[in-house]
Amino acid sequence: MEHKAYWAMRELNMDAKAARYHRSLELNEMEEFHNEPYENAKIYKERTKAWHDKNPIRKEFQPGQQVLFNSRLKLFLGKLKSRWSGPFTVVKVFPYGVVELKGKDREMFKVNEQRLKPYLGGLINTVKTIIQLQPL
């Protein structure tokens, strides 16, 4: 068996050291291909972060304006349910993005302006609705 293996290596003109070196090069190349998507994702994240830092979204609110508030509190589950509640009335705007709001029951609280968006009017559906499909 050993003689046939030795004969095959000599017949195909293969050198064990050269084969080992070639295989290590292939493994290193595979590792480079494996690491490339991670590097590309890192570059993409750095670019998007730089763009967002360069172009911040500033929201200007005035006292008396009506706004919607995103509390991030998920009491009711559902994909189609709006996470925005309100409308609330702006009472006072403090520096550095703090806004004092007043609710329907005259309750006043302070929030970050990033959790607000202007209320443009209309009805807000706060009740979870279930749509039932009728069979054809």
pLDDT digits (tens, 9 = 90+) for 75-113: 666 666 667 777 889 999 998 889 999 988 888 889 888
Which pLDDT score, from 0 to 100, does residue 130 have? 46
Nearest CA to 98 out of 109, 88, 108, 112 is that of 112
- On the CB side of 76, how many CA atoms lie within 13 Å of its CA? 14
Which pLDDT score, from 0 to 100, does residue 90 have? 92
Which pLDDT score, from 0 to 100, does residue 6 have? 73
Amino acid (1-letter code) at residue 49: K
Contact present, 67 and 95 (Cβ < 8 Å): no
Which pLDDT score, from 0 to 100, does residue 57 have? 66
Contact present, 63 and 93 (Cβ < 8 Å): yes
Which pLDDT score, from 0 to 100, does residue 129 have? 43
Assigned fold of 66-118: SH3 type barrels. (2.30.30)
Which pLDDT score, from 0 to 100, does residue 4 have? 76
Which pLDDT score, from 0 to 100, does residue 80 have? 63
Which pLDDT score, from 0 to 100, does residue 42 have? 93
Give every residue of the chain whose pLDDT is below 70, as ranges.
Answer: 1-2, 9-14, 56-58, 72-82, 122-136
